[in-house]
Structure 1
Amino acid sequence: MGYISGTDRGQTSLLPARIEDYVAADAAVRVIDAFVDGLDVAQLGFRRAVEASTGRPPYDPRDLLKLYIYGYFNEVRSSRRLERECRRNV
């Protein structure tokens, strides 16, 4: 069992055609995505969670780091507000 990972943004589906098509080429989220993907998260102290025999697997630390950086970049400091923003702004 591994991490829960975000959906592949290049995946083709009915609606939206591709999530990548909705993000501008010069959007700040692309910089955040490239920055975090270039990091060695193990060196930053992120460790693989101990997997339980029951329940859901944990979220990928890279995805959570991207989310928190995006929140700080857009002045969203509250985790609850960040959750609301995620639901509102895919």
Structure 2
Amino acid sequence: MEYLQGQDRQQLALYTTCLDEMVPEENSVRFIDRFVGALDLEELGFAALPAQGRPPYDPADLLKLYIYG
């Protein structure tokens, strides 16, 4: 299943620094990113949706937002 993907954090955009470099190493966002990345979301019940219509957001991204918020 294809999910909507944002821009790569390593990609240079309008500015000369990438988004990943703007976040300090000790920021809690980095911990949340690593924590959710280590989870097996399918085992936790995040089922893949059928491929029809607009692609859904990645459940991992939504979980990161939920934990951070």
- TM (normalized to structure 2)? 0.90
- What percent identity do the matched residue pairs reach? 51
Task: Return structure 1 stretches of 4+ with deviation > 3 angstroms.
Answer: none
TM-score by length of 1: 0.71
* Equivalent residue, structure 2, for 1:62: 60
User: C-alpha offsets along residues 64-88 of structure 1, whole Å, 9 cap, x if unaligned?
Assistant: 00000000xxxxxxxxxxxxxxxxx
How many residues align? The count is: 69
Cα drift, residue 14 of structure 1: 2.4
**Which segments of 5 or more consecutive residues in structure 1 lack a partner in the other structure?**
72-90
Instruction: Output one character per residue of 1:23-52: Cα deviation in whole Å (capped at 9) or x when no partner.
Output: 001000000000000000001000111111
What is the rounded CA distance, in whole Å, between the counterparts of 2:7 and 2:34 in structure 1? 16
Relative contact order, higher structure (CA 8 A, sep 6+): 2
CA displacement at 1:17 relative to structure 2: 2.2
Cα distance in 1 for residues equivalent to 2:36 and 2:56:
18
RMSD over equivalenced CA pairs, Å: 1.4
- Unaligned regions of 5+ residues in structure 2, if any? none
